Chains A and B, each alone.
Chain A
Amino acid sequence: MSFEPKIIGFLCNWCSYTGADLAGTARMKYPPNVISIRVMCSGRVDPSFVLDAFSKGADGVLVCGCHPGDCHYVEGNYKCMRRIPLTLKILESFGIDKGRLRLEWVSASEGARFQEVIKEFTEQIRALGPLQLKEWTFEPPKESEHMIEMGRA
């Protein structure tokens, strides 16, 4: 059986998630390898989400936000733009190929672009092969009861 990569996609609610929605309503076909997680803004994407995804077995992580200047929250995507290169450095130190994390700008009207990005990224990950992590595991910090409570609120 051929290798089917598992990819986690963090999509911002206003541009990329809507763009993905548009690709869906327009019945555009793209590989099912990317599983989307909706966040309100690409600025919400904590580097620990990326690391957590890799540690739990993702082969690639895609972060999509609004085009620079178009952020619904004025400048959240700029924050993301600064965090991703730092995250890439961390990945490098863990021996994870830089090509497994990608930041893309997809606007609400770019269903076709979303399709393109997914296709291309899936092919890229497929070429890189399954992610092999050696000897270390990453546990998310154990949360206090209070944090869980707040989380449910």
Chain B
Amino acid sequence: MSMIKIKIDGHQVEAEEGSFVLEAARNLGIYIPTLCYYPYMTPYAACRICAVEAGDGKGWSKIVTSCNYPAWDGLEILTSTPRVMNARRVNLEMLLSRCAPVPVLQQLAEQFGIVKPRWGSGEDTCILCGLCVRVCDEVVGAHALAFGERGIYRNVVTPFGQQSDDCILCGACAKVCPTGHITMEEISNRELVHNEMTLGPNSAISLPFRQAVPNVPVINPEHCIHFNTGGCKVCSKVCPKDCINYDDTDTFEEIEIGAVIMATGFDNFDPTPMKQYGYSRYPNVITAEEFEVMNNAAGPTGGKILLENGEEPRAIAILHCIGSRDENYHKYCSRVCCMYAFKFSHLVKEKTSAEVYQLYIDIRSFGKGYEEFYQRILHEDVNVIRGKGAEIVPSGYARGSEGHLLVRCEDTLIGKWREIPVDMVILCTALEARKDAKETGRKFNISTGADGWFIEAHPKLAPVSTTTDGIYLAGACQGAKDIPDTVAQGGAAASHAMKLLCQGEILMDAACATVMEEYCSGCRICNDLCSYNAIEFLEDKKVSSINSAMCKACGTCVAACPSGAIVGKHFTDQQIFAQIEGMLS
């Protein structure tokens, strides 16, 4: 493309030949109003508000739409002559006659001094700018919208006027619509994530979390338009450093290691099945994790404690033991909830003037400084009620209380049934083992207990080791625990691993199997039995031989040897026969 010279309002600029006048003017900082122009889409010149006067500087001139008028050498553009203004005003007036209530048109009308359009005041809200159709075709690539009908009946429709499978619900059309004609409606069978309701939607490209390492945004292929339709790629167009890589995939790497520390953590209990609390039905019923996100200064609300409608809550109930200490879900105590619940009430008191109600079964403030904090909370005007929250219902009785909630509970200290009106409920959900803990445990040959937590080698004497050598546990994967305990266990696991690595040699168990060569017939039955490939066949001697460093002493080969030629040290046949004899005599 060759560069040519054009003049805009007397300013000489260079532009690419064939590029559009509107862009050149915008680069100069000259304001040209438009309603149907959007970068990354072909200009359509539907609104005709961007009218300018194009001339050759020798007397010829005409009114053109700047968004799709290509620049040519010697072109002179005037953007604010009375003739231009008049053209814009008339075009705007015609749009207003069709769509009087649209705010963006009202604003422009004010600028152009139109009080009442001459040709009536239509009630439509679509100005037929075609942005939605173009974004769906050119950017998203879904082709789910088109113009239908003709003349005065022309409108934007989905195929046959029905919800289409081609629509991927990306919302791009609603985003570009200048008049608010297109909105995203809740479609009954689409499940809204609770998170989305209370804390705002996540974009398809975002930082995983603030402290993520490396601190770079990632694309969520499930929600990214490009991964759904192959179109869009807007992020790569706006990135000045060309950092967007759509082909990046997970890779597998093999690393040789000497020890493993399991620190797979925990899952949060999902309270949705507990219908009585209405989680995911009432937007102001949130989990402790969601409250923590909201409370974060870098979070979506900037650390403000807000209801779904953006108002500050007047009363908050914090329900302890949701899913823990519960016969139907987890019998164990999650250990951390009592104390974080107190922290929450402290923060609520600090940030808002809301009343706080704590509904507990038993207070477990067992750690250093914990009881003192509990006592402090009691003096902070927090209502601490002994009795588990039984039910959350919408408070429909009083006028003006729509959307607010009633928490029902039995206050066991005064022996009364209570109904507490609140705006927000925080559920202190149980810590539970990771969903795939059992599978992970199998991969590392360690076992999980009835609750799904990994089992340590000994509850008192070896709380960090596992029954498999070189694999250590740290943190909540071994059981619900708080931060200090996790840090302590993590330190212990690290030093165990370091010890193993620094020693340079490994202590072997004295128990292992050996082959008595003179009895071995060389049948090789044992060879394939060993899970550790510890048995090899000596071709020269025609006998099997066990590598004692690789043998884990399970004794499978001992039991299988038809000649009785393999001896399992510490568990020999004679020892076991003797035990049987001793027990039965």
Contacts and interface: CB of A to CB of B under 8 A. Distances in A.
B222 interface: no
B29 to A, nearest CB: 70
Nearest to B583: A35
A75 interface: yes
A74 B131 CA distance: 62
Contacts of A75: 531
Nearest to B559: A46
A43 B516 contact: no
A121 B559 CA distance: 25
A76 B531 contact: yes
A73 B554 contact: yes
A89 B519 CA distance: 28
Contacts of B553: 40
Contact of A141 (B532, B564, B572): B564
Contacts, number: 119
Interface string B137-150: 00000000000000
B584 A8 contact: yes
A49 interface: yes
Contact of B576 (A14, A37, A57): A37
Contacts of A53: 580, 584
A76 B554 contact: yes
A107 interface: yes
Interface stretch (A92-100, A122-130, A144-152): A144-152
A153 B514 CA distance: 11
B559 A43 contact: yes
A56 interface: yes
Contacts of A40: 511, 553-555, 568, 571
Given A49-B580, A56-B580, A151-B567, A14 B467 contact: yes
| Chain B interface size range | 35 or more
Nearest to A112: B450
Interface in A23-65: 35, 37, 39-41, 43-49, 52-53, 56-58
A74 B531 contact: yes
Q: How large is the interface on A (under 10, 10 to 19, 20 to 34, 35 or more residues)?
A: 35 or more
A134 to B, nearest CB: 18
Nearest to A49: B576
A121 to B, nearest CB: 16
B283 to A, nearest CB: 39
A44 B580 contact: no
B447 interface: yes
A58 B579 CA distance: 12
Nearest to B567: A150
A104 interface: no
Contacts of B132: none
Interface in A65-101: 66, 69-70, 72-76, 79, 83
Contacts of A115: none
Contact of A109 (B442, B448, B554, B573): B448
A20 to B, nearest CB: 15
Contact of B531 (A45, A48, A73): A73
B577 interface: yes
Chain A CB within 10 A, most for which of B455, B559, B571: B559
B27 interface: no
Contacts of A69: 442
Nearest to A146: B516
A45 B559 contact: yes
Interface in B428-469: 442, 445, 447-450, 455, 467-468
B335 interface: no
B41 interface: no
B404 interface: no
B445 A74 contact: yes
Given A39-B571, A69-B442, A109-B447, A44 B556 contact: yes
B183 interface: no
B442 A44 contact: no
B447 A48 contact: no
B533 to A, nearest CB: 11
Contact of B514 (A48, A83, A150): A150
A143 interface: yes
A152 B270 CA distance: 56
B584 A70 contact: no
B450 A43 contact: no
Given A44-B556, A109-B455, A52 B447 contact: no
B558 interface: yes
Contacts of B447: 14-15, 66, 70, 107-109
B83 interface: no
A142 to B, nearest CB: 11
Contact of A151 (B511, B531, B552, B575): B575
B274 interface: no
Given A44-B554, A44-B568, A76-B556, A70 B574 contact: no
A70 B467 CA distance: 12
Nearest to B556: A43
Contacts of A46: 558-559, 573, 576
Contacts of B576: 37, 39, 46, 49
Given A147-B574, A153-B569, A44 B559 contact: yes
Contact of B574 (A47, A108, A109, A151): A151
A143 B563 CA distance: 12
Contacts of A141: 564
Contact of A108 (B442, B455, B468, B559): B455
A100 to B, nearest CB: 14
Given A43-B556, A147-B572, 17 more contacts: A8-B580, A15-B447, A37-B579, A43-B554, A44-B555, A44-B558, A56-B584, A73-B532, A74-B445, A74-B531, A76-B531, A76-B555, A107-B447, A143-B574, A150-B567, A151-B567, A151-B575
21 contacts: A6-B583, A37-B583, A39-B571, A40-B553, A44-B558, A46-B558, A49-B580, A53-B580, A72-B467, A72-B554, A73-B552, A74-B445, A79-B560, A108-B449, A109-B448, A109-B449, A109-B455, A140-B577, A141-B564, A151-B572, A151-B575
Interface of B: 442, 445, 447-450, 455, 467-468, 511, 514, 516, 518, 529, 531-532, 552-556, 558-560, 564, 567-569, 571-577, 579-581, 583-585
- 6 tightest A-B CB contacts, nearest first: A44-B555, A43-B556, A73-B554, A151-B572, A74-B531, A109-B449
